[in-house]
Amino acid sequence: ETGVTQTPRHLVMGMTNKKSLKCEQHLGHNAMYWYKQSAKKPLELMFVYSLEERVENNSVPSRFSPECPNSSHLFLHLHTLQPEDSALYLCASSQETGNTYEQYFGPGTRLTVT
């Protein structure tokens, strides 16, 4: 799991706060992803970046704002969240060439919105 790191590991925030989640991959990959994992639900893909360009946005509310300044770093900026946004947020990366395709995940940020 050290290939993809996420900070913070835990975050508690009020609905009026602004915070950011950070992800860093040390694998030399060219694609990065944000997922939301809620209890008893399948993983929900939120955003995909390939070569630092956002290529997919799966109808995520605008209170979530991603940023990918380079191929190794990915942020998720949060503002005016709702209690139902409480979940585990997972970052992943992959190499979109060759014959690999598998995604490697970070440990996640456990977010609680109060």
Partner 1 sequence: AQSVAQPEDQVNVAEGNPLTVKCTYSVSGNPYLFWYVQYPNRGLQFLLKYITGDNLVKGSYGFEAEFNKSQTSFHLKKPSALVSDSALYFCAVRPSGSARQLTFGSGTQLTVLP
Residue 15 binds to partner 1 (criterion: CB under 8 A): no
Q: Which of 22, 63, 73, 110 binds partner 1 (CB under 8 A)?
A: 110
Task: Give the C-alpha separation, 82 to 97, whole Å.
Answer: 38
Judge contact between 30 and 51, C-beta under 8 A.
yes
Neighbours of 70 (CB within 10 A): 8
Task: Give the C-alpha separation, 102 to 86, whole Å.
Answer: 27
Residue 70 binds to partner 1 (criterion: CB under 8 A): no
Judge contact between 10 and 110, C-beta under 8 A.
yes
Q: Which of 93, 106, 111, 113 binds partner 1 (CB under 8 A)?
A: 106
Residue 104 binds to partner 1 (criterion: CB under 8 A): yes
Minimum distance between the CB of residue 16 and partner 1, rounded to whole angstroms? 28
Q: Which of residues 18-47 bind partner 1 (CB under 8 A)?
A: 31, 33, 40-43, 45
